[in-house]
Amino acid sequence: MPDAIGPFDLAAKAAFYAVAAGTLAGAWFAVSARNLFRAALGLALALFGVAALYLFLEAEFLAVTQLLVYVGAILTLLVFGVMLTARIADPSVARWNRQAAGASVLAAVIGGGLVWAYLQTPWPAETALAPPVPLPAIGRMIVSGYLLPFELLSLLLLGALVGALYVARKE
Alpha-carbon distance 115 to 49, whole Å? 20
Q: Which of 18, 64, 110, 151 binds other proteins (CB under 8 A)?
A: 110
- Toward other proteins, which CB reaches closer, 91 or 145? 145
In angstroms, what is the minimal distance from the CB of 91 to other proteins?
13
53 binds other proteins (CB under 8 A): yes
Residue 54 half-sphere exposure, CB side, CA atoms within 13 Å? 16
Residue 121, classed as helix, strand or coil, is: coil
In angstroms, what is the minimal distance from the CB of 23 to other proteins?
7
Q: Which of 18, 89, 150, 151 binds other proteins (CB under 8 A)?
A: 150
Question: How many Cβ atoms sit within 10 Å of the Cβ of residue 127?
Answer: 6
147 binds other proteins (CB under 8 A): no
- Toward other proteins, which CB reaches closer, 91 or 121? 121
Alpha-carbon distance 137 to 60, whole Å? 13
Alpha-carbon distance 144 to 140, whole Å? 6
